[in-house]
Amino acid sequence: MGDKIKAGYEIIPLSNYYVKDVERLVTSSWGSFKIAVHRELYDLRELLGFIAISDEQKIIGYCYYHVCNNECEIMVLESLRSGIGASTALIESVIKLARDKNCTRVHLRTSNDNAHAFRFYQRRGFTMCAVGWNYMDRARKLKPEIPMIGDDEIPLLHEIEFELIL
C-alpha cells in the first residue's frame, strides 16, 4: 500500500476513499479548495496528492503536487500532528515521485510571513530561489479570502519560492 513509517503512520497516494475527508480539512485550513499560486488559481481537486494516514486510519497530513515540464511543484503541504515527521515523509514521497518521473527539480512557494516553512524546507535541502514581489495582492484578486495579515502579525505581501534540484 504505502511506505510504512516508524512513527505509527504511512504515506499513501490520495485515493477516492479519502477525498471527501481531505476536502473538509483543506477547506477548514485554506478557506476553500482553491489556492492562488504564482498568479494562477488552482483547484486542488484536479491535482494528485499523498496523505499521511495513522495506524488508526486517521488523516494526519496531506500534500498536493503538480508535475509539468519536468518539474514538480508542491502546491499544498499540511501536517495535522507536528513533530512526528509526517510532513517530511510527505515531501520525501513527492521527491521520490519527481525522480521517478525524471523531473529536474521540486519547488514550492510560500508566503513571506511563514518563517516556520523557511526553516522547514531549508533543513530538507531546499534553497530560496525567487521572490514574487507583491504577488499576494495579485493572489487576492483570484481568491479574495486570503487575509491581509499572516503569522506573527506580518502583512502578507510576497511569495517566496524554494527549490530542490534533483
DSSP assignment of 90-145: HHHHHHHHHHHTT-SEEEEEEETT-HHHHHHHHHTT-EEEEEETTHHHHHHHH-TT
Q: Encode burial over 130-141: b for 16+ CB neighbours within 10 A, e otherwise.
A: eebeebbeebee
Q: What is the DSSP letter of 85?
A: S
pLDDT at 166: 98
Q: Is the pLDDT of residue 160 over 70?
A: yes
Confidence of residue 6 (pLDDT cuts 50, 70, 90): low
pLDDT at 1: 44
* Strand partners for 131: 160
Radius of gyration for the chain, computed over Cα atoms and rounded to the nearest angstrom: 15
40-93, pLDDT tens digit by residue?
888 988 999 999 999 999 999 999 999 999 999 999 999 998 889 999 999 999
pTM: predicted TM-score of the whole model, two decimal places? 0.90
Domains of the chain, residue spans: 3-165
**Residues in contact with 64: Cβ distance below 8 Å, sequence separation at least 6, in sequence order:** 14, 44, 47, 48, 49, 74, 75, 76
pLDDT at 140: 92
Q: What is the DSSP letter of 4?
A: E
95-129, pLDDT tens digit by residue?
999 999 999 999 999 999 999 999 999 999 999 99
Residue % of the chain over a pLDDT of 70: 96
Q: What is the Cα–Cα distance from 30 to 10, expressed in whole angstroms?
A: 24
- CATH assignment of 3-165? 3.40.630.30
Q: What is the Cα–Cα distance from 87 to 93, expressed in whole angstroms?
A: 10
Among the listed residues 99, 103, 44, 54, the one whose alpha carbon sits nearest the alpha carbon of residue 77: 44
